[in-house]
Structure 1
Amino acid sequence: MDKKFKTKTGYCHVLPDNIVLTRDGVLGEISKIAVGNTMTRSMIIYSLFLVYLIYKVVTLYAIGDMVRAIFHLAVAVLLFFALLKRVNNSATPVIPRNKIKAVTFKKATALTRAYFLIDFEDEKGKLKKRIIMLPGSMSGGYEAAEGAVKIMQEEKLIA
């Protein structure tokens, strides 16, 4: 039986053997174009931005603008650690349920959306993470999160 809940960019279908993420609407189309089904494009874009920031640090330091150089360096360091943290993330639309190691639900805060973090093993045997962002507070996020948690509990993916 197909159980589904709304996500930020479409729907999550919880099937007996797979979790399938579909994209629809404007946000889904934008994410299809921008990201596709891999993290490669976004990692390349962020890496290019990191290279640009490092270039700015060097040029600002060379002309003696230490305040802006330090600011750009701080942003570059934060971006570098954010990239390292996301190396094992995945954008795969299909996750086999027998490959799932853990599912964690993170509640929304004043500044963030609620989301599920799925730890799973990919086809190459590597441990990956898939984030399933739920709708924001302006689009019924609280109710969507409650329904999504209920489905994940019914399917015994979270306790």
Structure 2
Amino acid sequence: MNPPLHPSRRDLLRLAALGGLAGTALGPIALAPGPADAAGPSTFTPIRPPATPLAVRSPYLSTWLRADNLPGNWPTFWAGAVTAITGIVRVDGQPYVFMGAPSGGWPLATQSALVVTATRSTFTIVAGPVRLEVEFLSPSTRPTCGGSRCRCRTSP
């Protein structure tokens, strides 16, 4: 079965709903038109991590990518359960999967780079003539003081 070349909004929402959290972990998505370079292997900066953090906030919100490429692989919860977050972009009428692995034979976009810092994971993905930068933020906040368990001291 071939996917429709022009999926309806309902088709895209149906695919997105498969993951329950579909799209809630996504940070800003920047569309940068530009020539699609010949897709070679993805580069990893500063290193290739064994798993890439996507949305990590607590033990209850912890989604990771346990693969090299965002397109074609499902993000997972830290314990291994698939979270099934899906991202599809339409470029010149052609849909491309840039995140996840939905069924239906959709063409996959090509990942060209991954940059991982202490709080961000940024994927550079090429879909036709468009380059996408998909960024995930795992915020780091200072603990608040107060209560009997607080170990910080404040001076009056």
State the TM-score, normalizing by the size of structure 2: 0.30
More helix by share: 1
Greater RCO between the two (CA within 8 Å, min separation 6)?
A: 2
Q: 1 or 2, which has the higher strand percentage?
A: 2
